[in-house]
Amino acid sequence: MDQDASRKERKLIRVLDGETVFPPPIWVMRQAGRYLPEYRATRAEAGGFLDLCYSPKMATEVTLQPIRRYGFDAAILFSDILVIPDALGQPVRFAEGEGPRLDPLDLGEVGRLDPSRVLDHLAPVFEAVERIRAGLPGETTLLGFCGAPWTVATYMIAGRGTPDQAPARRAALSDPDGFARLIDILVEASIAYLARQMASGADAVQIFDTWAGVLDEAEFDRWVIEPTRRIVAGLRALVPGARVIGFPKGAAASLPDFAARTGVNAVGLDWTVPLGYARDVLQPRIAVQGNLDPLRVIMGGKTLDEGVDRILETLGGGRLIFNLGHGITPDADPAMVGRLVERVRAARR
């Protein structure tokens, strides 16, 4: 079976192509991470976090670890959304226990960013994609990803994460033309980055917009919907038929507009999205992904089981990719992740 035919048989790809599959395919955001002892061992060997991201051998290893342990239906490339600003020439560093740090970017300095170096700088990531695809079982989907321009810009402007991303919101409101120049650079870099991931073996890609929910309606339209639409269109110009999952966290009421206008194949749902709304408003139009509260994995037991069952009962009759409503947290018990997978896989209509 050739690669394209094999890809079309993968459960997650079938859902993205419009099919209802039950039990649904399952993967977990941040499934390769600190809750796994094998990840912590590899991370200690790597040294710095970006050293791990830029080591094809180690990035491959940590991507495959949760597949070996749980047999998820998808593996997602181990990397970080901030490799794009790092590649553009705004160096990123990770302080232990403090998250990412960048030198804050003034909009007057946007011209210093260098898009021409992005693909060369990220060559180790593309090598990792090739290695991961070669190491995966044939039935497992490989997801590439990038951060959405708005979310990446929030870190570039503030130099770190902030509670409500006020620095980036102020910048966008006070100098929308300058902010648009930054977004334009991120859109074009993201298109090139995702296209190369797909050329290297990714079956589909996800665009993470973690901070989409802090924007008002007009700003959401300008800085979330429109850049995502441009990325999807630009990616498909290079990779016809490219399958894309969009995840604008915190954007429940705006999801129908986002789905209709961006052209994504599926929308990710955070855990605050009402299941009935997802079933009645979203699923008739598009596949949905989500949306178990990560805290239920921490709680385990009956709390976990009830959350899983409610999602399956409400959304299992339509196009669904089972996932969490955001990334799994480091304090999750690996045994409870195994319980989650088993419960989804054992579901019956």
283: annotated binding-site residue? Answer: no
Q: Are strands 99-102 and 92-95 parallel, antiparallel or unpaired?
A: antiparallel
| 78, 85, 100, 106, 233 from 49: Cα distances, Å | 11, 15, 10, 26, 32
11 in a structural domain: no
Q: What percent of the chain has pLDDT over 90?
A: 94
Residue 296 CB burial class (10 angstroms; 0-12, 13-18, ≥19): buried
Region 57-65: what's the mean pLDDT? 98
Write the CATH number for 240: 3.20.20.210
4 in a structural domain: no
Check 17, 80, 221, 305 and give the catalytic one.
80
Cα separation, 165 vs 220, in Å, equals: 13
Token pair in block for residue 311: 């999602």
pLDDT for res 349: 80
Would residue 30 show up in a list of annotated catalytic residues for this protein?
yes
12 in a structural domain: no
* Residues 6+ away with beta carbon under 8 Å from 47: none
> Coil, strand, or helix at residue 1?
coil
Check 7, 10, 14, 43 and give the catalytic one.
43
Would residue 277 show up in a list of annotated catalytic residues for this protein?
no
Alpha helices (H) in the chain, listed in sequence order: 3-9, 11-16, 37-46, 49-53, 56-70, 83-88, 118-121, 123-135, 149-158, 166-174, 176-200, 217-220, 226-238, 255-262, 275-277, 294-299, 301-315, 334-345
Mind listing the pLDDT tens digit for each residue in 35-59? 999 999 999 999 899 999 999 999 9
Would residue 34 show up in a list of annotated catalytic residues for this protein?
yes
Please determine, for residue 118, whether its predicted confidence score (pLDDT) is greater than 80.
yes
Please determine, for residue 97, whether its predicted confidence score (pLDDT) is greater than 90.
no
Token pair in block for residue 228: 């995502």
pLDDT for res 99: 85
Please determine, for residue 1, whether its predicted confidence score (pLDDT) is greater than 70.
no
pLDDT for res 113: 97
Would you place residue 5 in the very low, low, confident or very high pLDDT band (cuts 50, 70, 90)?
low
Region 306-320: what's the mean pLDDT? 98
pLDDT for res 7: 77
pLDDT for res 3: 62
* Residues 6+ away with beta carbon under 8 Å from 298: 329, 331, 332, 333, 336
13 in a structural domain: no
Token pair in block for residue 150: 């708005």
330 in a structural domain: yes
Please determine, for residue 4, whether its predicted confidence score (pLDDT) is greater than 80.
no
Range(s) of the domain holding residue 127: 23-345
Considering only CA atoms, give the Rg of the chain: 19
Q: Give the type of residue at 160.
A: R
Please determine, for residue 61, whether its predicted confidence score (pLDDT) is greater than 70.
yes
141: annotated binding-site residue? Answer: no
Mean residue pLDDT of the chain comes to: 96
42 in a structural domain: yes
32: annotated binding-site residue? Answer: yes
120 in a structural domain: yes
Please determine, for residue 2, whether its predicted confidence score (pLDDT) is greater than 60.
no
7 in a structural domain: no
Nearest to 256 by CA among 226, 233, 277, 234: 277
Domains of the chain: total: 1
Q: Give the type of residue at 304.
A: L
Please determine, for residue 262, whether its predicted confidence score (pLDDT) is greater than 70.
yes
Please determine, for residue 284, whether its predicted confidence score (pLDDT) is greater than 90.
yes
303: annotated binding-site residue? Answer: no
Token pair in block for residue 86: 């790092």
Check 7, 10, 14, 30 and give the catalytic one.
30
Would residue 155 show up in a list of annotated catalytic residues for this protein?
yes
30: annotated binding-site residue? Answer: yes
Mind listing the pLDDT tens digit for each residue in 197-249? 999 999 999 999 999 999 999 999 999 999 999 999 999 999 999 999 999 99
Q: Which pTM does this prediction carry?
A: 0.96
Cα separation, 330 vs 314, in Å, equals: 28
